[in-house]
Structure 1
Amino acid sequence: MSIETKQADQWQFLQTYTPARIARGRAGHSLPTAELLHFQADHAQARDAVYSELKVLELFQALLSTFNLEVLRLQSEVKSRSQYLQRPDLGRTLSEASRKILLEEEATEADICFVLADGLSATAINEHAFAFLDKLMPKLTEANWQIAPICIVEQGRVAIADEIGFILKAKIVVMLIGERPGLSSPNSMGAYITYQPKLGLTDESRNCISNIRPEGLSYEMAVEKMWYLLQEMNVKKISGVNLKDEMQDNLLN
């Protein structure tokens, strides 16, 4: 019976700077057994995140009781998680029942609308969406921004926010969504911001803040980035590739 001998990796010091799977050593031509098991565990965790479910009732109650705003529960045209993964187009489209809910709102013009969707990791929204909004809302309130009802969407993809924002007459829509899980980041939340949302927009019309989580981009830094982009959009009336992110340059001046 052979005994595995782990060989040291000269790049191991890089693990100090990143949680990425790098410099994990080797045993012969393969990974050491312990690292292989860690890989399998991380892979299983990422798969679990894809099939995780929104804690809709908990989110609903927390948002409603804290922000004193109307909260709407919506769904895309997707009928199952397997369909969600196979038919991205259905995840971008509101169900007829949800569209009716929005139309019955008889919305007045708002400055901003927040949409929360499971995406590819409901875990990310369950863990981070409320904490992020809790830090951002005071800035909006202080600046007297009019906020549309908050929408929680099950089985949703990024573009579904465009129709929601349009129906609710919001100048800006912010989609908080679970990002594609990585082996070291199964709970990463992304924020997509669009000025003048409407059906038919594509990714070049949106700005994105990615990897929002304590182990990645902290809530505080994400909120500062978000607030900067929101103010820029509000003044310049643009978003996406037309809006240059000069936040770092402004801080250095």
Structure 2
Amino acid sequence: MDRSTLEPAADAAGDPTPSPALDNPWLALRTLTPARIALGRTGTSLPTAAQLDFQFAHAQARDAVHLPFDHDALSQQLHGAGHETLLLHSAAGDRHEYLQRPDFGRRLSEDSAVRLREHAERHAGGVDLAIVIADGLSALAVHRHSAALLKRFDEQAAADGWRRAPVVLVEQGRVAVADEVGQLLGARMTVMLIGERPGLSSPDSLGVYFTYAPRVGLTDAARNCISNVRLEGLSYGMAAHRLLYLMREACRRQLSGVTLKDEAEVQSIGDEAADRKTGNFLLSND
């Protein structure tokens, strides 16, 4: 490639021609957030680099929505961690129908419902917990984060001794499909791991939804949500910690949703002595 095409143009005196993009005094703030701030401008338009970056992020989000659910690879990961899996499908026949008819994604197909009933009959007595993983609006998020999050959850939940159903994988599923899965399995609780709607800086955000006493017909008010589980967002350990708090409180109070608040205590950085020494600059140390 001709290097002259990569170097800034020069005027007659040999000095580089200044860029038409204006300097932005807020540029340093971009190191503190992934949000699109301080993008600068060229005249009344965005600089070319910022415009191309926006188009790239938009393409990533669209790709995440349409990426096929690789349930075979996920099943292998879960089997390697000691989990049984059961593959089901929602009432949405394909991705186009799934996006056009959200209600189809909230129910199982007839064949899947029959398979799940047969499984429940072979294992009578119900279970304490049913974990459901669905592709949702970002199979990319499920591929990247669901197995790792479930591993951290297993580590922290080992002492609780909950009876579990096999991990249910639902293709073309939405959040509410976990209600039908839990009801057919006779589960006391359901946990849904699902790909969230991609954002322009987060195409792989995983959502966690918890429901106590699941049954068909519940609204979102009956569920608790833990959002933005990914490497750049909420860590696996923190998400598992919050989820377990909600589950234990739900078992104690026999409810979930808007009446169950996430009041999990989070271990702060630094020990108590350091906190006492530093204090809060807004409060008196007297």
Which TM bucket (shorter chain)? over 0.9
RMSD between superposed Cα atoms in Å:
1.9
If asked which structure has higher relative contact order (CA below 8 Å, sep 6+), I would say 1
Distance 2:263 2:156 in 1: 20
Match of 2:92 among 63, 67, 78: 78
**TM-score, normalization: structure 1?**
0.94
- The amino acid across from 1:117 in the alignment is A
CA contact 2:156–2:240 (8 Å) conserved in 1: no
2:205 aligned with 1:188, yes or no?
Answer: yes
Q: Deviations over 1:177-205 (max 9, x none)?
A: 00000010000000000000000001000
Alpha-carbon distance in 2 for matches of 1:20, 1:14: 10
Matches within 5 A, 1:90-239: 90-105=104-119, 106=121, 107=123, 108-239=125-256
Gaps of 5+ in 1: none
Confirm whether residue 13 of structure 1 aligns to residue 14 of structure 2. no
Query: In structure 2, the residue corresponding to 1:63 is in which secondary structure?
Result: helix
CA distance in 2 between counterparts of 1:13 and 1:202 reads 43
AA aligned to 1:166 is Q
Structure 1 residues 16-25 or 93-102, which shifts more? 16-25
Distance (Å, rounded) in 2 between the aligned partners of 1:203 and 1:4:
51
How many corresponding residue pairs? 251
Counterpart residue identity of residue 170, structure 1: A
Q: Specify the alignment match of 2:73 in structure 1.
A: 58
Alignment partners' CA distance in 2, 1:34 and 1:145 = 52
Residue matched to 1:48: 63
Question: SS at 2:25's partner residue?
Answer: coil
* Residue identity opposite 1:42 in structure 2: A
Helix, strand or coil for the counterpart of 1:138? helix
SS at match of 1:141: helix
Task: Report if the CA contact (8 A) 1:4-1:32 is conserved.
Answer: no
**1:39-79 deviation per Cα after TM superposition (whole angstroms, max 9, x unaligned):** 10010000000001111111112212312x33100000111
Deviation at 1:7, TM superposition (A): 1.4
How far off its partner does 1:123 sit? 0.3
Unaligned stretches of 5+ in structure 2? 1-8, 10-16, 273-286
Displacement of 1:235 in angstroms is 0.9
TM-score normalized with structure 2 length: 0.84
Q: Which moved more, 1:55-64 or 1:184-193?
A: 55-64
Find the aligned partners of 1:55 and 1:213 in 2 and give their Cα distance: 19
Q: Letter of the 2:260 partner, please give it.
A: L
Matched residues in 1 for 2:19 and 2:55: separation?
A: 19
